[in-house]
Amino acid sequence: MSNLPPFRSCPALLITATASGQGKTTLVAALARYHRRLGRRVRVFKIGPDFLDPMILQCASGAEVKPLDLWMVGETNCQRALYDAAGEADLILIEGAMGLFDGAPSGADLAERFAIPVVALLNTQGMGQTFGALALGLAQYRPTLPFAGVIANRVASARHAEMLQAGMPATVRYLGGLPRVPSTALLPSRHLGLVQAEEIADLEQRLDAAANGIAATALAHLPAPVQFSAPPAAAPLPQLLAGMRIAVARDAAFSFLYADNLRTLTALGAELQFFSPLADDDVNADAIYLPGGYPELHLPTLAANTGMTRALRTHVAAGRPLYAECGGMLYLLDYLTDQAGNGAALTGILAGRGRLQTRLAGLGMQALDTAQGSLRGHSFHHSTMDTPVMPSGFSRRQRDGQCGEPFYRQGAVQASYLHLYFPSAPLAAAMLFQSNTD
């Protein structure tokens, strides 16, 4: 039996908007930094699959940022993560994905399931009293949703703020406004989303500047506590990877990693080591994990690192497992071309050529069904690839059950565009790093 208390209480908010690109990450980062500066322990979560926003939010909060998603992460694991956070935090913040009601399940579904108050951030640029109509629609669209109020973003002036408040219905709480700032003060982005935190030289100054704007809003005060119930006890995982040393690529080119994936591999018995395809000229392990990232931004360095290419080829030739996701898979190809048309020869472990596009080429939640369980995850890429290698199977799209991304298996290599969330099916995840996968 567990000795944990049946409930834990902690102030919590879910920050949402009407769509992507409205400033949710900046607001959540500002909130986290503001309350952290007051000495509060802040834990931040991000709804849905995301690697870039959590990097920014981790810098702002000073703590790891985990994903929450009722489908990919699962309701029980979401419950466990929130319960654990409530036991160590003074404030829990959750950044939504896209708009409040977008997706199935949506951010609204998660907020309602765990009774977390929702704050909607609305971009008011070029808008007046219609702000109130949008606020009312969000508040009333689902009457069972714990809607806490709205905050205005990109407010041009005091007069503009007055116009916004003039249109507010009495039944919806106005939490304040954030001023319009120059584009140079915003968090920079590129083709897959925000620029990685470590690449923003003045990130600390940007976060502090954003936090300064919180003091004038109602969000400067802690919200009411939310009661989180204890999850069912988790059964220990079998030691399927005991005695195995898995080398995980981790650097500026390969950084799209769920910390939960690494914890799952460790819980399965693996010993992890980290290496850099950019900086190291050798790697030696029982299995290799090449996660996604930005290999297209580092083509000359990757192509010039012949020592690493040789080490990876030797690893595969010896029949030792190599699992690659998205950018990691592109690194295995013969050739990769970036959006500007510049290309480079890469490792040549998986026959084919990749090319970055200006538009999204793949997007959405998907599952990879295996004999050991269904691994859930997502696809999000701007590249396409041509390969003579025939897929060993396809993932299944969450929204309609149709075929999704191809999954490749060639000797000791397994690869796809999928970013898989290992806790969704730990036994299936273990099989990715074992040699008996045929």
pLDDT given for residue 187 in this prediction: 62
245-431: CATH topology: Rossmann fold (3.40.50)
Mean pLDDT of 192-218: 78
Question: Can you state the percent helix, strand and coil of the chain, rounding each to 5?
Answer: 30, 30, 40
pLDDT given for residue 406 in this prediction: 96
At 84, the pLDDT band (50, 70, 90 cuts) reads very high
- Percent of the chain at pLDDT > 90 equals 82
Q: Domain extents for the chain?
A: 8-229, 245-431
Q: Is the pLDDT of residue 438 over 90?
A: no
Q: Model pTM?
A: 0.92
Between strands 383-386 and 353-356, the pairing is antiparallel
pLDDT given for residue 362 in this prediction: 76
Q: CB–CB of 291/249 below 8 Å?
A: yes
Query: What's the mean per-residue pLDDT of the chain?
Result: 92
- Token match 């995982």: residue? 237
CATH code of the domain occupying 8-229:
3.40.50.300
Please indicate whether residue 198 or residue 136 has the higher confidence score (pLDDT): 136
pLDDT given for residue 180 in this prediction: 79
Q: CB–CB of 78/95 below 8 Å?
A: no
pLDDT given for residue 268 in this prediction: 98
Of 255, 257, 296, 250, residue with least CA distance to 277:
250
Mean pLDDT of 291-318: 96
At 437, the pLDDT band (50, 70, 90 cuts) reads very low
**Mean pLDDT lowest for which of 127-131, 185-189, 351-355?**
185-189
Backbone angles phi, psi at 251, to 5 degrees: -160, -165
Give burial (CB, 10 Å; 0-12/13-18/19+) of 146: middle
pLDDT given for residue 48 in this prediction: 86
Q: Do domains 8-229 and 245-431 have the same CATH topology?
A: yes
Q: Is the pLDDT of residue 303 over 60?
A: yes
Question: pLDDT tens for residues 147-193?
Answer: 999 999 999 999 999 999 999 999 999 999 998 765 544 565 645 55
At 195, the pLDDT band (50, 70, 90 cuts) reads low
Q: CB–CB of 343/368 below 8 Å?
A: no
pLDDT given for residue 193 in this prediction: 57
Mean pLDDT of 375-391: 94
Catalytic residue annotation: 326
pLDDT given for residue 179 in this prediction: 87
Q: Is the pLDDT of residue 341 over 50?
A: yes
Mean pLDDT of 20-34: 93
422-431 burial by CB neighbour count: b if 16+ within 10 A, else e? bbbbbebbbb
Question: pLDDT tens for residues 91-119?
Answer: 999 999 999 999 999 999 999 999 999 99
Q: CB–CB of 13/93 below 8 Å?
A: yes
Q: Is the pLDDT of residue 295 over 70?
A: yes
At 1, the pLDDT band (50, 70, 90 cuts) reads very low
